Structure 1
């Protein structure tokens, strides 16, 4: 399993020590951790679930693990076939690509309004979150960096104060979350992405509408290119 689960050595060692589900915990806790591992790219699409090793990882018996797996099968994150066992569900690359095309347009729309609608409180909150993300980058905490990155993107869209835009964006980002996590697990674009975020914040400070439209769309396009590249390099099921 370790050869296909894409578990980064340093962070996953810490996760094993600090994130282990207690024996007395409910199977929902196991499902939550497995869901996180799938969505953040720790478990590769198409890879087989090795129940014995997961039981050792969580320090549990097979019963709560099986219950957790059933939850994720119902959510579509895991598949189960008789005699073949449990596998991480594959990702529809064409669907992800089509979602990114729509997201590029939403980022463009956000840039058109952001310069006149973002207030100081929202900008200050984004800047604080960005500084925390910078610290995660400096210490190599990839998973924590990725989570804050996601939060910042939503905060920028929410700063436009258009509930419809925010709701559509949230829904689409949820659909590509796992794909982005896979790219993040094997990405060399960290520094470039961080610089793009800093440029976005500068444009918000300057209320530069044209720069915001351009930077938001370009950042979205660069992210899409990285994600699609990572997805196309995945082994075929």
Structure 2
């Protein structure tokens, strides 16, 4: 059995493939070792995923190949993912770990060249020659970059709401729909785990109010920053 894992900061898809057919797909919280502690990553891989697999009667010892594509899979973090996968799966399973942008390259381009982009909780982009990335712009994470992402849009919305850049009606709608005060947002961003995931969740407010010209302009601004 082959396991293909596609992991972003918000959610992870675990796809089990046997004889070229998908047999099971399970879903867990996202994994990003750059912004999460090792304990948070361990909880998702060694506890949450195992529980889901057990409920679907998946024998993890049948997996002999694992192709893991994930957010935050930079050189000094991949060993964390590798070790935790080995704690769960058969010790002799062949494991390859690459960034989520490579999953997008394989899925979008196959063996052809192209410009590949990801817009999710974070953002990413690269040039791909059909086999490897030839140019990669570092996304720099939600504090320094990730333009175009859900987290970046969430930051724009928070700024617009609490700095009075939107109508009073929209500001009231934001507070009513999210049930968040400024103190809640400060706590979630500066004191709680996965602040990027929290900020990205606020982009749902933009989706609900995209017909409003001010919200539409925030979304356009976010995408323009990504393209630039």
Per the normalisation by structure 1, the TM-score is 0.36
Structure 1 or 2: larger helix share? Answer: 1
Per the normalisation by structure 2, the TM-score is 0.37
State the structure with bigger RCO (CA 8 A, min sep 6), 1 or 2: 1
